[in-house]
Homo-oligomer: A and B are copies of this chain.
Amino acid sequence: MQEEDPFGIRPGEVAVTLPDRFDAQVYFIGRIRTPWMRRDDCPKNARESDAVCTIEVDPRWAMGLTGIESCTHLLVLYWMDRARRDLMLQAPRHYGQPRGTFALRSPVRPNPIAASVVRLTAVAGTQLTVVGLDCLDGTPLIDLKPYFASTDAVPDAVVGWHAERRG
């Protein structure tokens, strides 16, 4: 069985020329351990999985975890390092018609940073046990943030194109 080419382009998709230089740089501060070794194995989104995953923070940053155990949920930022960055219209297989990159949560985007809300179930040293991720095993971690319901939770938010889609 062959994996889909992550750098391929589908009918209706549009790529742009990327800028000739970058503007800022990031550190990978740890790794995410998940049960998924290949893109095709990953759940399409985190709702589809109750899998327990592990976030391994590099020891250098250990002290930054002080107090994190008091959070029930975290916002996890990670780097989707296997995706092209130049598509502006994308046609994901499961959605049909092409849509703008900024109207999608696809890993394909100018800055391949994912943001996922997870439930924190345990902290042991620099290892965090969480539920709610859908990324590949080994994905680089770039940030952890406390999730504040007061500013981060908008239960009545609507993504119109998604609510109306026929496939």
**Which residues of A approach B to under 8 Å, CB–CB?**
14, 16-19, 22-29, 45-47, 57, 60-73, 75, 77, 79, 81, 85, 88-89, 98-105, 109-111, 113, 115-117, 119, 132, 140, 142-162, 164
Q: Which of B26, B72, B99 contacts A26 (CB 8 A)?
A: B26
Tell me which residues across on chain B come within 8 A of A157, comparing CB atoms: 71-73, 147-149, 152-153
Tell me which residues across on chain B come within 8 A of A61, comparing CB atoms: 16, 88, 101-102, 110
Q: Which of B25, B89, B99, B100 contacts A22 (CB 8 A)?
A: B25
Bound-state Cα–Cα, A53 to B156, Å: 21
Count this chain's copies in the assembly. Answer: 2
Q: Which of B18, B62, B77 contacts A115 (CB 8 A)?
A: B77
Q: Are B158 and A71 in contact (CB under 8 A)?
A: yes
Q: Determine how close the nearest CB of chain B comes to the CB of A119; give it in whole angstroms.
A: 8
Tell me which residues across on chain B come within 8 A of A88, comparing CB atoms: 61-64, 66
Bound-state Cα–Cα, A89 to B62, Å: 10
28 contacts between A and B (CB under 8 A): A19-B60, A23-B25, A27-B110, A27-B111, A46-B151, A64-B100, A64-B101, A65-B102, A66-B89, A66-B99, A66-B100, A67-B103, A70-B161, A70-B164, A73-B154, A75-B115, A102-B144, A103-B146, A105-B145, A110-B142, A111-B143, A115-B145, A147-B157, A148-B159, A149-B155, A152-B153, A153-B157, A155-B155
